[in-house]
Amino acid sequence: MIHNGIHHVTAIAGNARRNVEFYTRTLGLRLVKKTVNFDDPGTYHFYYGDEVGSPGTILTFFPWDHVAPGRLGVGETQETVFRVPEGAIGYWTQRFVEKGVTHQAPVKRFGESVLSFKDPHGMRLALVAVPGIENEPGWTDGEIPAEAAIRGFHSVNLLLAEAAPTGAILTDVFGFREVGREGSLVRFAVEGQAIGGVVDIHEAGGFLPARMGGGSVHHIAFRAEDDAAEAAMVKKLQENHGIRTTEQKDRNYFRSVYFREPGHVLFEIATDIPGFAADEPVASLGQALKLPAFLEPQRARIEQVLPEIA
Ligand code: ZN
């Protein structure tokens, strides 16, 4: 079992209801946790993923009504990419046309078909066709056929001035290695990790800096099997790269540290444990508003300020 790769991606959305509708209905992901931003409890924190919210399948959002749109630039995530079975690209293209989802014609990247699209708040996403994954379990609530359903993350694409400094962190600390180059892209992968095992760095040199806002990725979290593995990564970051992380924060479903990587993207290290069934059964994940123990005394007030999403 390999416990490296992407754990989750967290992004900024606009209206909460539209966010839930797009990710659960249009894309067919499962809402596996409905909670609040622990650091800003008047804001929802939604987690979408596969049936149980496995590491490598989790896309999370802070939805803010009236958020100003972000502007793509150097030092941020350019695209977040999901895996779908090879035969499903036609299905998804058709679906995006029917649902009015902004998308581009499929292109080839590292020999794979990539269908880029945007969510309602401008987040840059893509589907990549991966051969031989038809039999991997895919979450479906019935609307999207299981054979076309999303199978977790393929990769994230980071738009950076240069690849080497960030690449050094990926390879030395997170278990990736450089596996290919194509144009201005440098591909890093975790050997044997099919889900969330790829990071592409798009070298852009001195392009405009990013401005974070609606549709922007807030941070990328990488996996650590447990607290000991996370502590070892923290030690390596400090000793080999002179990077200090935050202290560990308990996010209820994983335990995390954060740091700004050399290319300016906010990185997190998140433990695979305890997972999303820590405070509610798998069968009813995402249905009730879950709060960490320290916020339970404020539940009534929090529920009052959160926007309606049903
Ligand atoms: Zn996170």
Cβ contact 66:16 at 8 Å: no
Percentage of residues of the chain with pLDDT beyond 90: 94
The domain ranges of the chain are 6-305
- Ligand 1 centroid from CA 54, angstroms: 14
Q: How far is the CA of 141 from the centre of ligand 1 (A)?
A: 26
Between the CA of 57 and the centroid of ligand 1 the distance, in Å, is 13
Give the H/E segment covering residue 187. strand 185-189
The CA–CA distances, whole Å, from 277 to 1, 203, 280 equal 20, 39, 5
Q: What is the mean pLDDT of residues 270-282?
A: 97
Token output for 172 = 């030395």
Centre of ligand 1 from the C-alpha of residue 220, in Å: 7
Is 46's pLDDT higher than 80? yes
* Span from the CA of 219 to the centroid of ligand 1 (angstroms): 6
Q: Using pLDDT thresholds of 50, 70 and 90, give the confidence band for residue 308.
A: confident
For residue 63, the CA-to-ligand 1 centroid distance in Å is: 14
8-state DSSP, 275: -
Rounded-to-integer distance, Cα 41 and Cα 13, Å: 16
| Å from CA of 73 to ligand 1 middle | 21
- pTM, two decimals, is 0.97
Q: How far is the CA of 80 from the centre of ligand 1 (A)?
A: 14
Distance 7 CA to ligand 1 centre (A): 8
175-197 pLDDT, tens digit per residue, is: 999 999 999 999 999 999 999 99
pLDDT at 206 over 90: no
Calculate how far, in angstroms, residue 53's C-alpha sits from the geometric centre of ligand 1.
13
Q: Report every protein residue that has its C-beta within 5 angstroms of ion ligand 1.
A: 10, 221, 268
- Ligand 1: centre distance to CA 41 (Å): 15
Q: Mean pLDDT throughout 13-23? A: 97
Neighbours of 305 (CB within 10 A): 11
Query: How far is ligand 1, taken at its centre, from the CA of residue 218, in Å?
Result: 8
CATH of domain 6-305: 3.10.180.10
pLDDT tens readout for residues 125-148: 999 999 999 999 989 888 999 999
Q: How far is the CA of 267 from the centre of ligand 1 (A)?
A: 8
